[in-house]
Amino acid sequence: MSKKYNVKNIKRKKDHLSIHWSDNHKSKFHFLWLRDNCPSAIHRTANMRVFNLLTVSKNIFPKKLVHKKNKIKIYWSELNHESNFDTKWLRDHCYSLRSSNKYKSSYSFWDQKLKKNFRKIKIDHDKILNNDRYLKKWLHILNEYGFALIKKSPTKKKSAFKILNKISHHRETFFGTPFEVINIPKPNNTAYTADALRNHTDLPYFEYAPGYQFLHCLINDAKGGNSSVVDGFAVSNYLRKKEKKIFKILTTTHVKFKDTDYTQKAIRVLYSPLITLTKDNDFNDIRFNMAAMGIIDIDSSKMKKFYEAYQIFAKLLHSNKFKIDFRLKAGDIFCFNNRRVLHGRTAFDPKSGNRHLQGYYLERDEILARLNYFNNLKV
């Protein structure tokens, strides 16, 4: 076993054990933390903690400590309990180390130059279906770039369920699954017209907007109807670096998104900034949808500046520097992180031919959880 797992010495301090390892690293393990993480505290099959923190006091301490080879035995001051720890487990869970690990984003930002490298984000349908190596690759692409293009998939209706279910179950919405992206009379959504759609994220009026979207192209024979895609995180990162004031406004102003679909007996309203950040200051999500923006009712002293920032963001999200134009072919599945990447289309002429996409949503949790599984993440 590597040197780092060997204990040089252990000291019992006032409220923690101090372990000095052979590689000279020192760890602190607080008593309550140790008691809470006693191996016997975890259910053997359910892998969940059965120990109840309320059964001990905050003053619990090791009455006695025995260190033999790779094991440390603790006799606790309360409940007559003994804990047996592997030193390797302790070292692997040293929280001074874990908490000091610098956050590293798993995202690669991209702009229109990615078009020359489309092979990076393309992947064949049957390879994913038949080989977990490709399923893992697909998940990696989705997580890193937020955008993948599946090629050579069947064009039978509803056939994309099969490949999505390689990840997990889908996210249901009132549009149904799959939702039919076709030109219909009396459309309840602008997606169901033959009109152009400006770059947008879907369903921004949901507190938890769908994490991923999959547009499965069954037919694309009409004139027009070309697609666009843009990395909202890359644009936000540009603003963060070059336009600090604009970035501040976009990350702090809560504006209204709404949906009043006439086929639904529901009125949906959500206030959110257009860009949100995580606890590590990484990008969390983008909500951008001119069509689903409510009537903005922020304080009048902020309105002018907000509209300026909103317009600058919109311009960049439609600029040749950042957006990629491409055309979906029958058998393509356009997959993207709907809370990062925006999509759009040009108008099409329904008299010139047919165009039919089927849409599906799936949560970001499901992508991340499957990636963690394939990456054998230790928690």
Binding positions for Zn ion, rule: CB under 5 A: 202
> By the 8 A CB rule, do 170 and 358 touch?
no
Residue 191 contacts ligand OGA per CB under 6 A: yes
Strand partners, 74: 65, 83
Q: Which of 72, 90, 128, 202 binds ligand OGA (CB under 6 A)?
A: 202
Strand partners, 355: 220
Q: Which of 62, 178, 211, 359 binds ligand OGA (CB under 6 A)?
A: 359
| Amino acid at the residue 109 | F
Please report, as residue ranges, which positions from 123 to 182 form the binding site for ligand OGA (by CB under 6 A): 181
Read off φ and ψ for residue 361, nearest 5 degrees.
-120, 155
User: Residue 181 binds what, of ligand OGA, Zn ion, none (CB under 5 to 8 Å, by partner type)?
Assistant: ligand OGA
Contacts of 97 (CB under 8 A, 6+ apart): 25, 27
Is the CB of 340 or the CB of 343 nearer to ligand OGA? 343
Read off φ and ψ for residue 267, nearest 5 degrees.
-125, 120
Least Å from the CB of residue 216 to ligand OGA: 11
User: Residue 121 binds what, of ligand OGA, Zn ion, none (CB under 5 to 8 Å, by partner type)?
Assistant: none
Per-residue buried b or exposed e for 234-261, using 16+ beta carbons within 10 Å of the residue's own CB = bbbbbbbeebeebbebbbebebbbebee
Secondary-structure breakdown of the chain: helix, strand, coil percentages, each rounded to the nearest 5: 30, 30, 40
Is the CB of 34 or the CB of 203 nearer to Zn ion? 203
User: Residue 357 binds what, of ligand OGA, Zn ion, none (CB under 5 to 8 Å, by partner type)?
Assistant: ligand OGA
Per-residue buried b or exposed e for 150-176, using 16+ beta carbons within 10 Å of the residue's own CB = beebeeeeebbeebbeebeebbeeebe
Is the CB of 181 or the CB of 250 nearer to ligand OGA? 181
Is the CB of 7 or the CB of 219 nearer to ligand OGA? 219
How many residues lie near ligand OGA (CB under 6 A)? Answer: 9
Least Å from the CB of residue 213 to ligand OGA: 7
Please report, as residue ranges, which positions from 212 to 251 form the binding site for ligand OGA (by CB under 6 A): 227
> By the 8 A CB rule, do 103 and 277 touch?
no
Q: Which of 323, 345, 356, 370 binds ligand OGA (CB under 6 A)?
A: 345
Is the CB of 129 or the CB of 291 nearer to ligand OGA? 291
Instruction: Please classify residue 37 by burial: count the beta carbons closer than 10 Å to its beta carbon, then call 0-12 exposed, 13-18 middle and 19+ buried.
Output: middle
User: Residue 356 binds what, of Zn ion, ligand OGA, none (CB under 5 to 8 Å, by partner type)?
Assistant: none
Residues that bind ligand OGA (CB under 6 A): 181, 191, 197, 202, 227, 343, 345, 357, 359
